Structure 1
Amino acid sequence: MKTSRIALVTGANQGLGRALVEGLAARMNSDDLVLLTGRSRQRVTDAAQEVAELPGTRARVEGRVLDVTDTDAIGRLAEELRSRHGGVDVVISNAVARVLPQESQAARADEFIDVSNTATHAILRSFGPLLRPGGRLLVVASSLGTLGHLDPRLHHLFDGASLEDVEKAVESWRSAIHHGTAQDAGWPVWLNVPSKVAQVAAVRALAAERRDGDLATGTLIAAVCPGMVDTATSRPWFSDCSQAQSPARAAEAVLDLILTEHVDPALYGELVRFGKALDWHEGAPLLEQDRLLTP
């Protein structure tokens, strides 16, 4: 059976990822395919079946087991989509490691970096070449992903960096955490800040290589900030979630970005929040007491 479009969402068992799968399945066509991915086979199977059975679902929905910390598995899935379908049309890198406020940030650093950064790099490298004309490759980040949230001593590591430079900077940060020298070098205690900056820098790096060709074909590569979302990952960090969006509401702006036909050049390669690009250099380093996973 011919498939018109292929969409892939990581970290899609629940929360925003699940909402993005539901939205894609409802707004794409009956001969399109949406792949819901996650680490647990049972949860992936159950979630894919539940989405497929929703009244508003139009596209086909299938589950794929994918542990994004396994970069070889990312490569194998990319090769499967290349060989079976010739490419991919929508890729949303959404997986995140859950860290609780009472946990040691340093003790959770490896898992957090592997899920948020190493996996992002692998997805950009593996799926970027498979993106068909008019495709969308989005990395879910946050407003903390602007460079100004880092100590100025660290800006040179990410500003104008290549993807290889970003990868080296992330590993340097990881090493500094393990050696107890991270704070002296200017790295914040809270993992989410450098992690998000590095995600956005990686997107900017790939986009810089592809900009002219992608804009000529209506293809978009960008990072996205969905705003504050009420999920199991974010809820422990906020004393008041009354202003948080439901995952379904937060997914709407991301889905609009994906499914609009026209690509605004001002959004290409940028961190996009509610349809507008955030200034890469904006923000200020957080004080130690500002320990929240700001949207």
Structure 2
Amino acid sequence: MNASRIALVTGANQGLGRALAEGLAARMDPDDLVLLTGRNHQRVSDAAREVAQLPVTRSHVQGQVLDVTDTDDIAGLADELRARHGGVDVVLSNAVARLLPEESQAERANEFIDVSNTATHAILRSFGPVLRPGGRLLVVASSLGTLGHLDPRLHHLFDGASLDQVEYAVESWRSAVHNKTAEEAGWPRWLNVPSKVAQVAAVRAVAAERRERDLADGTLIASVCPGMVDTATSRPWFSDFSQAQPPSEAARAVLDLVFTEHVDPALYGELIRFGKALPWHDGTPPVEQDRLLRP
């Protein structure tokens, strides 16, 4: 087995994903490899070359085309990394579909769900088994991912659910959006809330099955909230960015989780913001954002 560490970042062409790739490349060792992934070959190649040429970069950096909406593509890359390197040490699942406030949430639902949720399920299923002891698998979510942000009628779909059950709930939500029955069932019009709750629930499901052995060998699986980040994806949604962090700053807390030597059992499987676990049942439905989307 190759002794060098292998790290992978999805959605790494720009924004937070790019900052995460840069931070990994700066803090990993010269024999380690950072795989910077995205869907567009040219953008991936350009970003990987630019990160590799940064003065602070220490590790190898390689561009890797990966379409996270293609579950076979994800499984194929996981199998390749197992065959070539014996597994992977760091997986940062960060890809998100850009959505503008003036766009129809329902019309963009398929793409948004595929990138944020179907991909998360596939990454957990494919990369969880090839994560080497002491590894890190972190899904970038947000503080909206706690269960209380959903209508109480929907809590049973995600609370204590298995990964299969989370996946079923997501597909039921998708169908309800297309059938125009989502609102009466309690789903918010704002896609981001159910999507983030489902991401966190999926991580919790996988972590619940692996907890004992992962804690024994120092492996961490969790979801992370980087806080408000000033990116092209988030900027259209907020009028006040005075408290927003640049991507490089937002990446720091996530990277600290990657490089910490000791895994705090209180953080394992949880949604982590700035080093602390957010209570799963906290939150209230974000009615103001939903009201903004009403015709």
Q: TM-score normalized by structure 1?
A: 0.97
Secondary structure of residue in 1 paired with 2:135: strand
Residues in 2 aligned to 1:138 and 1:253: alpha-carbon distance in whole angstroms: 12
Corresponding residue for residue 47 of structure 1: 47
Residues in 2 aligned to 1:148 and 1:242: alpha-carbon distance in whole angstroms: 27
Residues in 1 aligned to 2:248 and 2:221: alpha-carbon distance in whole angstroms: 22
Contact 2:230 2:245 in 1 (8 A): yes
Residues in 2 aligned to 1:47 and 1:187: alpha-carbon distance in whole angstroms: 37
Secondary structure of residue in 2 paired with 1:125: helix
Corresponding residue for residue 153 of structure 1: 153
The runs of 5 or more residues in structure 2 that have no matched partner are none
Corresponding residue for residue 238 of structure 1: 238
Corresponding residue for residue 9 of structure 1: 9
Per the TM alignment, residue 242 of structure 1 is displaced from its structure 2 partner at its CA by 1.6
Residues in 1 aligned to 2:76 and 2:225: alpha-carbon distance in whole angstroms: 28
Q: Deviations over 1:193-228 (max 9, x none)?
A: 000000000000000000000000000000000000
Residues in 2 aligned to 1:131 and 1:191: alpha-carbon distance in whole angstroms: 30
Corresponding residue for residue 28 of structure 1: 28
Corresponding residue for residue 182 of structure 1: 182
Per the TM alignment, residue 291 of structure 1 is displaced from its structure 2 partner at its CA by 6.6
The runs of 5 or more residues in structure 1 that have no matched partner are none
Residues in 2 aligned to 1:289 and 1:86: alpha-carbon distance in whole angstroms: 45
Corresponding residue for residue 213 of structure 1: 213
**Which amino acid in 2 is paired with 1:214?**
D
Q: Deviations over 1:176-207 (max 9, x none)?
A: 00100000000000000000000000000000
Secondary structure of residue in 2 paired with 1:64: strand
Residues in 1 aligned to 2:38 and 2:174: alpha-carbon distance in whole angstroms: 25
Residues in 1 aligned to 2:146 and 2:158: alpha-carbon distance in whole angstroms: 10
Pair 204,149 (structure 1): closer, same or farther in 2 beyond 3 Å: same
Pair 182,38 (structure 1): closer, same or farther in 2 beyond 3 Å: same
Contact 2:36 2:64 in 1 (8 A): yes
Per the TM alignment, residue 2 of structure 1 is displaced from its structure 2 partner at its CA by 4.6
Corresponding residue for residue 249 of structure 2: 249
Pair 183,23 (structure 1): closer, same or farther in 2 beyond 3 Å: same
User: Does residue 80 of the first structure (1) align with residue 97 of the second (2)?
Assistant: no
**Which amino acid in 2 is paired with 1:210?**
R
Residues in 2 aligned to 1:165 and 1:47: alpha-carbon distance in whole angstroms: 37
Per the TM alignment, residue 240 of structure 1 is displaced from its structure 2 partner at its CA by 1.3
1:181-200 correspondence runs (5 A): 181-200=181-200
Corresponding residue for residue 171 of structure 2: 171
Secondary structure of residue in 1 paired with 2:185: coil
Per the TM alignment, residue 243 of structure 1 is displaced from its structure 2 partner at its CA by 1.2
Corresponding residue for residue 101 of structure 1: 101
**Which amino acid in 1 is paired with 2:99?**
V
Per the TM alignment, residue 3 of structure 1 is displaced from its structure 2 partner at its CA by 5.0
Corresponding residue for residue 130 of structure 1: 130
Per the TM alignment, residue 241 of structure 1 is displaced from its structure 2 partner at its CA by 1.0
Contact 2:190 2:289 in 1 (8 A): no
Number of corresponding residues: 292
Corresponding residue for residue 113 of structure 2: 113
Contact 2:87 2:130 in 1 (8 A): yes
Residues in 2 aligned to 1:2 and 1:199: alpha-carbon distance in whole angstroms: 31
**Which amino acid in 2 is paired with 1:260?**
T
Pair 31,289 (structure 1): closer, same or farther in 2 beyond 3 Å: closer
Alignment identity in percent? 82
Q: Deviations over 1:204-261 (max 9, x none)?
A: 0000000000000000000000000000000000111121000000000000011011
Residues in 2 aligned to 1:7 and 1:65: alpha-carbon distance in whole angstroms: 15
Per the TM alignment, residue 286 of structure 1 is displaced from its structure 2 partner at its CA by 1.3
Secondary structure of residue in 2 paired with 1:231: coil
Question: How big is the alpha-carbon RMSD for the aligned residues of Structure 1 and Structure 2?
Answer: 1.1
Q: TM-score normalized by structure 2?
A: 0.97
User: Does residue 263 of the first structure (1) align with residue 251 of the second (2)?
Assistant: no
Residues in 1 aligned to 2:211 and 2:170: alpha-carbon distance in whole angstroms: 24
Per the TM alignment, residue 288 of structure 1 is displaced from its structure 2 partner at its CA by 4.4
Contact 1:222 1:267 in 2 (8 A): yes
